[in-house]
Structures are given as C-alpha cells and as structure tokens.
C-alpha cells in the first residue's frame, strides 16, 4: 500500500451547491437560484479581485511549499465567461500541481467523487485532502507537515488535522486594512481530512463540526493559515461582519514581522490593493 496522495481543492466561482452561505439548501440547483448566483459570482469586478487573490495569495502559497508532492484541484463552472476562464487557465498553468476542472454539473460532490476514488485505487487508501479558498493561503511547510502527521496517523481510517494558528487581514469598504493574529481551530484554511469513504470530499462536512464527528488533531506549533476578510468574501454579503472569535489585533509593524517569519511569500504585499482591483 502506498502513502495517501495529498490533494488540495479550491472552488473558484463554482456555480452550484456547496457549504457556503446561500447555496446549502435544496433549492441550490434550481435555475432561478443558479441564475442569481451566477450574476454575483461572475460580476467583472468580483472576478478581477478573486483572480488577483488567487494568484497573489493562494497559488503563491502553494508555489512556496517545501514539499512539492501534492495535487491541487481548481474546480470551476463551465459557465464561467471565456475571458475569465482563459485567465484562470493561465494562472493554473503556472503551478505544476494545479489541475483545472471545468464542470457542467452544479453538484460538487459528484464532480469530486470519481477523482478521489481514482486516487484511492492508485494508492490503496483514501487521499489526505485539504481545502483552500482562492483568497486564503497556507504556510510554506504546510504540505510537509501534513505528510509528517499523515504518516504518523496512517493506521487511522478517518481523522481531521487543523493548524489553528495564523494571520489575517480585514479590509472592508473605505476602511484601511486591519491586521490580526488568529487562533481558530478547524477554520477552513490549513485544514485537512482523511475520510472513511474515499470518494467523499472535505466539503461534505462543516469544518467546525469535524472534531465532533471524528478524531481530530491540532498542530499549534506552526502558523498554518492566512485568511483574508474583505468585501467580496461570501460572509460580506450579509453586511459588515464583526470581529471573529480568535482574532487579536496586531500593529502594522508587528504584522509585517509575523508575515516575514511565517508567510514570507506575502512580504511586501500592499493590502490596500484588495479594495482597489477592478476589471
């Protein structure tokens, strides 16, 4: 039996049912609901900003991995307008581990199941999956740490792994960016699972519920996640969010030092750009 493949998954402008707000219900596949969602997902300014963060934050973190032996699936809708599809394809081509998946189906679970099953057949065991939004990042040692922990837990049929320590930038409206250190066990970023059903994806479970469902492991020694919170995030559609639990403020100079130590590929980033990118 081979070691599990490490497979990351990013939903980029995926039109269909998922675990995010507004697309969890039974009507998520209905034509009127999909039309409404498509208008928001494919808005030109939103797309420009999400492609910006995908390139500068998400993919940059994966290109910086000290262990390059992983796959990264970028799942998008076949209804994505061609101009954005071309740009997305170009960005994915720049990361050897990236695999762009265009889907006509709004059923994310159905899209991912055959891919995950094929991986399990190749290695003889379920993949170790992680999820990553297009505006978030993981630390440069994330895949290496996953492999280390995954090897130590190879006999466990099902478990979750979280890296609860991280950093975050919040940028809403005309407000200047604010900077935070975070302690958020089982937040979505820097989270991984090995599931008993080898074809089930990580998105089948609410990430905060994982410790209630299976053996759960935290690695507090490493700053694993970097999270952006800004106007085009899903949560912002409900109005200006408050400060999340597990967030402690940092002065700009403190944030720069922490960024250089734990997420050096983001050093020098002008965070006010999050508000200024347009199509």
Residue whose C-alpha is closest to residue 239's, from 168, 172, 171 = 172
How many helices (H) does the chain have, and how many strands (E)? 9, 12
What is the domain range of residue 69?
6-276
Based on its alpha-carbon atoms, the radius of gyration of the chain, rounded to whole angstroms, reads 18
pLDDT higher than 50, residue 205: yes
Q: Is 251 a domain residue? A: yes
56-60, 102-106, 211-215, 230-234: least confident range? 230-234
Say what the pLDDT of residue 232 is. Answer: 72
- As a dihedral over the C-alpha atoms of residue 248, residue 249, residue 253, residue 258, rounded to 10 degrees, the angle is 20
Rounded to 5°, the CA angle 13-164-228 comes to 35
Q: Is 1 a domain residue? A: no
Say what the pLDDT of residue 270 is. Answer: 93
Say what the pLDDT of residue 25 is. Answer: 53
1-5, 49-53, 257-261: least confident range? 1-5
The confidence band for 264, taking pLDDT boundaries of 50, 70 and 90, is: very high
Domain count for the chain: 1
CATH no. for residue 175?
A: 3.90.550
pLDDT higher than 80, residue 196: yes
Quick: pLDDT tens for 92-133.
999 999 999 999 999 999 999 999 999 999 999 999 999 999
Give percent of the chain above pLDDT 90: 81
Rounded to 5°, the CA angle 220-147-226 comes to 45
Tokens of 121: 């057949």
Quick: pLDDT tens for 21-59.
554 455 555 777 788 899 999 999 999 999 999 999 999
Residue whose C-alpha is closest to residue 190's, from 170, 169, 210, 219 = 219
Report, as an integer, the average pLDDT of 167-184.
93
Using an 8 Å Cβ cutoff, are 115 and 202 in contact?
no
Q: What pTM, to 2 d.p., does this model score?
A: 0.93
Say what the pLDDT of residue 236 is. Answer: 47
Angle between helices 82-93 and 44-53 (to 10 degrees): 0
Angle between helices 31-41 and 44-53 (to 10 degrees): 60
Say what the pLDDT of residue 18 is. Answer: 60
Give Cβ neighbours of residue 268 (< 8 Å, ≥ 6 apart): none
Q: Is 56 a domain residue? A: yes
């Amino acid at each position: 039996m081979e070691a599990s493949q490490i497979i990351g998954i990013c939903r980029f402008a995926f039109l269909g049912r998922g675990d995010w707000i507004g697309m969890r219900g039974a009507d998520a596949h209905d034509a009127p609901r999909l039309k409404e969602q498509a208008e928001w997902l494919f808005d030109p300014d939103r797309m420009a900003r999400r492609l910006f963060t995908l390139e500068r934050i998400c993919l940059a973190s994966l290109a910086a991995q000290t262990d390059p032996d992983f796959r990264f699936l970028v799942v998008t809708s076949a209804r994505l307008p061609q101009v954005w599809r071309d740009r997305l394809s170009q960005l994915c081509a720049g990361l050897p581990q990236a695999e762009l998946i265009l889907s006509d189906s709004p059923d994310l679970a159905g899209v991912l199941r055959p891919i995950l099953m094929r991986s399990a057949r190749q290695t003889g065991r379920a993949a170790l999956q992680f999820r990553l939004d297009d505006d978030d990042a993981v630390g440069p040692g994330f895949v290496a740490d996953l492999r280390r922990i995954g090897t130590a837990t190879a006999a466990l049929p099902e478990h979750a792994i979280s890296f609860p320590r991280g950093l975050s930038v919040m940028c809403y409206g005309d407000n200047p960016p604010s900077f935070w250190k975070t302690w958020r066990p089982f937040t979505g970023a820097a989270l991984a699972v090995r599931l008993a059903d080898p074809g089930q994806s990580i998105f089948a479970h609410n990430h905060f519920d994982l410790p209630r469902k299976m053996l759960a492991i935290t690695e507090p020694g490493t700053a694993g996640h970097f999270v952006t919170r800004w106007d085009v995030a899903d949560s912002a559609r409900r109005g200006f969010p408050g400060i999340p639990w597990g967030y402690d403020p940092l002065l700009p100079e403190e944030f720069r030092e922490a960024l250089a130590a734990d997420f050096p590929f983001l050093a020098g980033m002008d965070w006010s750009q999050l508000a200024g990118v347009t199509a």
